[in-house]
Amino acid sequence: MRFVFVTIIFCLLFSVFLYPAIGQAKPDTSANNAVLIEQSTGRVLYEKNAHDKRSIASITKIMTAIIAIESGKMDEMATVSKRAVYAGGSSIYLEQGEKMKLKDLVYGLMLRSGNDAAVAIAEHVGGSVEGFSYLMNEKARWLGMTNTEFDNPHGLDSESHYSTAYDMALLMRYAMTNDLFKKITGTTTYKASTREYAWRNKNKLLTSYYDYCTGGKTGFTKKAGRTLVSTAHKKDMDLIAVTLNAPDDWQDHIGMYEWAFDTYNMTSILKKGEKTYQINGDEKITSGFINRNVTYPLDDQELEKISKKTFLLEQGSQRDQAIIGKTIFYLDETPISEVPIFSGTQHRTKDNLFTETASILQRMVGLY
């Protein structure tokens, strides 16, 4: 009887180690470098050598696509050069002298990873590959991609072309705020006006493997290995995953996503509306208006660790007279979110939106 009891206990303990509780153990990825972030807040949920500089292959084309989209030239016709035709690697089989709408080239770039499309886009938007690479690096610096350098629009190997998993997550986070980019990266098939056949997206997470995938970009060279950026949506949460040199990247991304969706929830930590505040701890009360709900990805234990501090500005000291202060939220002792307080019961206006957005962008690029 005692032997049976010991055996049962052993089996139970063994099963705990073999099959840990769902949501407890972080995924073990095959990638040399990986990161998983929540899109709206940028919170890093998982990372593995996320800041190491590495070759990135065709996930480079995320930057090429967003610059092309923001150029305002998507309806223009681009002429394909000899340099584009002979770019090498993956191709949408452009011919020298062929004309194709820039929008179609961007679809071919993102869905089929056409290196010829990348060069054609670069030459049309930037005047040359070199000129376009300059634009790519300027955009990278503006986004805070501090460990990134681009010297081409397609991602073919070069000693002076590299990034990190974290920097590429920053890029994808920005790109996914653009509605057209979001539409293109989430498209499974697309037929260009000059083609008789449709292109099918190479991102198998989107087309086959993962129902919650909303977009992404694949990449591969011998030097970089398999690289992948993807996005997913589930339970009101949007996630971005990046893996570099990952032999089993599809499963890496699925594993990270399922772990995060099971572990974290988008949790309300402040609701918009009128609030009252004490000034400097005395009995004087002032009212302010919070113009948006504040949510943050938290696990079951973290909500109890959230604290906040409110700072009210002295009258006449603020840059924007509509803003009277700010509330900063902390997880343990780490600041995680900052919310402006507007005067009275004032609702968000276009001017307030511009001021808040400009402030965020200035902080991103280190202006203050």
Name the active-site residue from 55, 58, 90, 337: 58
Give Cα 224 distance to the centre of its chain. Answer: 20
Name the active-site residue from 48, 55, 61, 103: 61
Q: Which helix (H) or strand (E) holds 100?
A: strand 99-101
Q: Which amino acid is at 304?
A: E
**Coil vs helix vs strand at 56:** coil
**Cβ atoms 60, 154 nearer than 8 A:** yes
Exposed (0-12), middle (13-18) or buried (19+): which is 315, by Cβ within 10 Å?
exposed
CA 233, CA 21: separation in Å to the nearest integer?
23
Assess whether 61 carries a catalytic annotation: yes
Name the active-site residue from 55, 113, 133, 359: 113
Assess whether 40 carries a catalytic annotation: no
> Of 145, 150, 114, nearest to 131 (Cα)?
150
Assess whether 317 carries a catalytic annotation: no
Exposed (0-12), middle (13-18) or buried (19+): which is 342, by Cβ within 10 Å?
buried
What residues act catalytically? 58, 61, 113
